[in-house]
Structure 1
Amino acid sequence: MNDFNYPKLHNATWPGIVGKGPDSEPVISFDTMLEKTAAAEFEGIKFDGVDIGLFDPHIDLDMSDDGIKRLADKIAGLNLKIGTLVAPIWSGSAMGTKESRLVFIDAVRKSTEFGQKLRELGVRSNAVVRIDSASNLDEWAKDPVNNSKSIVQTFKEACDVAADFDESLAAEGEICWGGMHSWKAMIETLEAVDRPNMGFQADMAHTLLYLLGYNSPEDRILPDDFNWDDRSALDEGLKKLTKELRPWTIDFHIAQNDGTVFGSGSHDKTGRHCLADDPKGKLDIVNDAAYWLRDENGNLTKAFKHICWDGCMFPNEVMEEQKTWNNILEKMVKVRRAHGWNE
């Protein structure tokens, strides 16, 4: 049995917020998410850290330096590190008005500065901040060419801001965001941005929908008559998808998907996150993680030093049960045993 020490295993805190709220279930507190993460255990192994969304009500992006120090001390006190951060860019839009784009870029500036301070305090283990276009797909589709140009320009400016704080930006591969809604659109955006600190965040649940051409049938990879029982076709589809996107990937989420879309609260429909042991899950998580963690020759890329579980839009009764997080950690450990390394 190989108990490697890399990649580090992280849990996400933002599922306590995403898909929650007045039009759904109550938000799960930041402290509760931390407690469930810190308490999780499988064969004596614990989570190494958390990835954090920098948005209310969990985190005040404008908190003082003393507040950031208290946050760092709280998480370090649970024997956890902080990894990737999520910038709260949704008050603006990467393809919106000049004012809206400035709001977007300012959120990136604050988030990357916040991240630098956490690194200086010794509690943060990487320098990646996640973004999306904060642009509704239907609005983007009204003028794809010009809207894509606006997204690219905003991302360029955001990258330049992030570089001032030695941070990189990871564009989230999720089908609900305009200009990022298909694998081809995502690559076109990344290539056009052309910044050394711009990369891709792959989430196994979301990228599975890229294969099926949801929101972009012309970019479908799997055949129209694809049957989920055809594992060889799924393997070939994953090979093609990851060959294109893996070189851009700087952040990676372990997740499960049942081949459907789902949204809750104010969140648009996107790839459904399923529990690690969901019998309806279409992915072989441990096997399929290899397509992102290893190159075409089977060699580990070691392109990122931690992997994160993302389980947005699970019911509160599921998220508040410790067994849920123990099962998730078990799957994460098995991924690392199959595709890990020592440093």
Structure 2
Amino acid sequence: MNENNYPKLHNAMWPGVVGKGPDSEPVIGFDTMLELTASAEVDGVKFDGVDLALFEHLDINMSDDEIKRLADKVSGHNLNIGSLVAPIWGGPVLGSKEDRATFVEMVRKSCHIGQKLTELGVRPSGVIRIDSASSPQAWDADPTGNSKLIAQTFREACDVAADYGEKLAAEGEICWGGMHSWKTMVDTLVAVDRPNMGFQADMAHTLLYLLGYNREEDRILPPDFDWNDRAALTEGLKKVTAALRPWTIDFHVAQNDGTVFGSGSHDKTGRHCQALDPNGKLDVVNDAGFWMRDENGQLTKAFRHICWDGCMFPNSVMTNQQTWNDILATMIKVRQKHGWYEAD
């Protein structure tokens, strides 16, 4: 067995929530997601932690006592806590002045929870994850003005986060205005210009950047791309990662079949596929290296943990223990190939 013990291996809890609900399938409870994660094991190796969504499963307004109970519950499963998703969708950046104030307040509340979890010793690494909570169509109405509005709001959020010692990671996903292409994502990060602002790369979402969904002019691969052309795919991945890797401070290992998908109330975005999906277009273990190593092949060590994200899977898949064992096995291979060892 490879001796690498970093980055730590985390599972996301929000796939139990995202794309679920009244017009889809029932939410899978937090405790169930936690137990499935804790029960996964491959050759004696288990998940090290979980990344959390501060909505549905958890109350953004939880008290410090409730934060302590959360910490105890997760650590009781021998798991740490990592990155937190801020519930900013009630305050779209491209909405009203009040919406933007709500956005920043949700970031503040998330940072408070993050800070407390860190103080409690259960959160050794992680960021606060955000997006613009606005559609590409809204952004298209005034790209210049809306880009400035996003950058201004993100700067305000960064300044609030800095008071808590937190970093913010903007998720690159084709359904978020100002982040819906690899070029607009870079432009947003450059415009924010804060030391505690970075990028969250999800392999399933960033693959869609190559196909120009929601922004055709930034397409890298041709419309009739032959997925058997691995050389061209590799060049495309290198182009996107070269642009966004320097900003990347949070990383989701994931698979995608080159299509978009949405369920429940979630907009169409890059489809997450199971770890061993035969239709997956990525060589997950190899392609994770484009994010985890620099252009010279050296490890960046830019994040202390990596997380599996698999949203909008059917509940029958999500509640099957083998699903999580397969995911863990893939994560272990990523660490074996692109990780490192430190004395804990």
Q: Could you tell me the TM-score, scaled by structure 1's length? A: 0.99
Q: Match of 2:329, as an amino acid?
A: E
Deviation of 1:265 after TM superposition, in Å, equals 0.4
**Are residue 205 (structure 1) and residue 212 (structure 2) matched?**
no
State the one-letter code of the partner of 1:292. Answer: W
Q: Using the TM superposition, give the Cα deviation of residue 82 of structure 1 relative to its aligned residue in structure 2, in angstroms.
A: 0.3
Q: What is residue 157 of structure 1 aligned with on the other side?
A: 156
2:190 equivalent in structure 1: 191
Give the match for residue 134 of structure 2: 135
The offset of 1:267, in angstroms, is 0.3
Q: CA RMSD in A?
A: 0.8
- State yes or no: 1:125 paired with 2:138: no
For residues 311-326 of structure 1, the aligned pairs below 5 Å read 311-326=310-325
Secondary structure of residue in 2 paired with 1:23:
coil
Q: How far apart, in 2, do the equivalents of 1:171 and 1:340 lie? A: 24
In the other structure, the counterpart of 2:46 is 46
Distance in 1, matches of 2:112 and 2:187, equals 28
Separation in structure 1 between the aligned mates of residue 126 and residue 195 of structure 2, nearest angstrom: 13
Q: Per-residue displacement from partner, 1:238-265 (whole Å, max 9, x unpaired)?
A: 1111011000000000000000000000
What residue is the counterpart of 2:4 in the other structure? 4
Contact in 2 for aligned 1:7/1:304 (Cα 8 Å): yes
Contact 1:95 1:154 in 2 (8 A): no
Deviations 1:157-193 (A, max 9, x none): 0000000000000000100000000000000000000
* Aligned AA (1:190): L
Aligned residue runs from structure 1 range 227-246, under 5 A: 227-246=226-245
CA displacement, residues 253-308 of structure 1 (integer Å, 9 cap, x when unaligned): 00000000000000000000000000000000001001001111111110001000
TM-score, normalization by structure 2: 0.98
Residue 210 of structure 2: SS of its match in structure 1?
helix
- State the partner residue of 2:74: 75
Deviation at 1:127, TM superposition (A): 4.1
SS of residue matched to 1:212: coil
Aligned partner of 1:35 in structure 2 is 35
What is the Cα deviation at residue 221 of structure 1? 1.4
What residue number does 1:111 align with?
110
Q: Would you identify which runs of 4 or more consecutive aligned residues in structure 1 move more than 6 Å?
A: none
- In 2, the alpha carbon distance for the partners of 1:255 and 1:127 equals 18
How big is the shift at 1:151?
Answer: 0.8
Is 2:14 the partner of 1:21?
A: no
Mapped to 1, the partners of 2:74 and 2:320 lie a distance apart of 21
8 Å contact kept, 2:201–2:252: yes
CA deviations on 1:76-95 (whole Å, 9 max, x unpaired) are: 11000000000000010112
Please give the alpha-carbon distance, in whole angstroms, between the structure 2 residues aligned to 1:166 and 1:96: 28
CA contact (8 A) 1:95 1:148 kept: no
- 1:171: which partner in 2? 170
The gaps in structure 1 that reach 5 residues or longer are: none
Identity within the alignment, %: 74
Count of aligned residue pairs for this structure pair:
342
Structure 1, 134-143 or 193-202: larger mean CA deviation: 134-143
